[in-house]
Structure 1
Amino acid sequence: MADSDWDIVLKPHLSPYFVYAAAFVIAVAHIAVGVLLKISPNSGVIFKTSDQIGIALVGIVIACVVLMFARPRVRAGAAGIEVRNVLGPKLIPWSEVVGVSFPSGAQWARLDLEDYEYEPLMAIQTVDKQRAVDAMDALRAVLGKYADQATA
């Protein structure tokens, strides 16, 4: 489903910038080490071109894994709440949702489920300050709208 099919779509604001910067630094550092690997011939170790390429590729793979932390998203609509943290999305129907909360000292919000379970909402983060407050208000409004329909 497209984002337009949902009532709200929430994404973190500041953390993707940190994630992109960290991934860039990791990739550049590994590529630089790979390029500079054969410059010092007096080290006693013989490095080959395959070693250089391997180090650069390891850095690129690590950077790609780090980039997964820029993916968090929460979408809410008639179908329920779709939560995507680092890995794939998970659709949670309204009938299972008890509420949303932002525990004191937590880094991100959480979706409270039945049986005292919860799902972290990495898309709503403390570092976003007022945007996080606005996101929680919007999510609670959508929850109020659909929770009444789920119980009826």
Structure 2
Amino acid sequence: MTNPVPHADSPRLPVTFRPTRTRAVLLGIGGVLLVVLTVMSLLLETFTTGDRITFICTGLLGFGVLALLSRPKVVATEDGVTVTNLTTVRRLAWAQIVRVNLRSGDPWVHLDLSDGTSLPAMGIQTGIAKQQAIADARALRALVDTHGTVHSSD
């Protein structure tokens, strides 16, 4: 494989893109929810053991759901891109990514793939930090431009 010519906007590899503000908010709310429900279950004297267990399990469930929502990320390495969404992980070679799209109104980046499909990359989402998402989409696009055009020599 030939060495790719770095694009001016390309970050150094490996790089991880994730909505850090959104992640901090989700995990913070989940932690507070768990603590509040646990403390309430222990302080209310009228609660039975079953009530306490139910409150704590509800807090754990809430924290788990919010932790799942904070999971998405996009990791770019020399070998390709790994897209981690809520419940799926997909590994792509650079050559499989045709285009990186973040259109106005899109909640997250979409990757157009060489097989004609599109893959949502929820690790770059507009949510709380729209300007950061735009910068991350541009950086990923620059990486695709740099590494996606590299072909092995025969």
TM-score range, shorter chain: 0.7 to 0.9
**What is the TM-score when the length of structure 2 is the normalising length?**
0.76
Residue number among 10, 13, 17 corresponding to 1:10 in the alignment: 17
Structure 2, unmatched stretches of 5+, are 1-11
State the match for 1:80 in structure 2: 80
Cα RMSD (Å): 2.5
Between the aligned partners of 1:151 and 1:62, the Cα distance in structure 2 is 48
Q: Secondary structure at the match of 2:120?
A: strand
Counting only pairs closer than 5 Å after superposition, residues 111-122 of structure 1 correspond to structure 2 as 111-122=111-122
Counting only pairs closer than 5 Å after superposition, residues 30-49 of structure 1 correspond to structure 2 as 30-35=37-42, 38-39=45-46, 48-49=48-49
Higher helix share: 1
Report if aligned partners of 2:102, 2:134 keep a CA contact under 8 Å in 1.
no
Between the aligned partners of 1:151 and 1:117, the Cα distance in structure 2 is 24
CA drift of 1:88 comes to 4.9
Larger Rg: 1
Between the aligned partners of 2:68 and 2:79, the Cα distance in structure 1 is 25
Within the alignment, does 1:142 sit opposite 2:143 as a pair?
Answer: yes
Between the aligned partners of 1:56 and 1:13, the Cα distance in structure 2 is 27
CA drift of 1:74 comes to 1.0
CA drift of 1:65 comes to 2.4
Q: Secondary structure at the match of 2:100?
A: strand
Figure out how many residues of one structure are paired with residues of the other and give that number.
141
Counting only pairs closer than 5 Å after superposition, residues 27-106 of structure 1 correspond to structure 2 as 27-35=34-42, 38-39=45-46, 48-106=48-106
Between the aligned partners of 1:37 and 1:116, the Cα distance in structure 2 is 58
State the match for 1:21 in structure 2: 28
Between the aligned partners of 2:48 and 2:151, the Cα distance in structure 1 is 63
- Percent of residue pairs bearing the same amino acid type: 28
Report if aligned partners of 2:95, 2:147 keep a CA contact under 8 Å in 1.
no
Residue identity matched to 1:108: W
Structure 1, unmatched stretches of 5+, are 40-46
Q: Deviations over 1:57-80 (max 9, x none)?
A: 231132122112222221113321
Between the aligned partners of 2:45 and 2:14, the Cα distance in structure 1 is 56
CA drift of 1:32 comes to 4.1
State the match for 2:123 in structure 1: 123
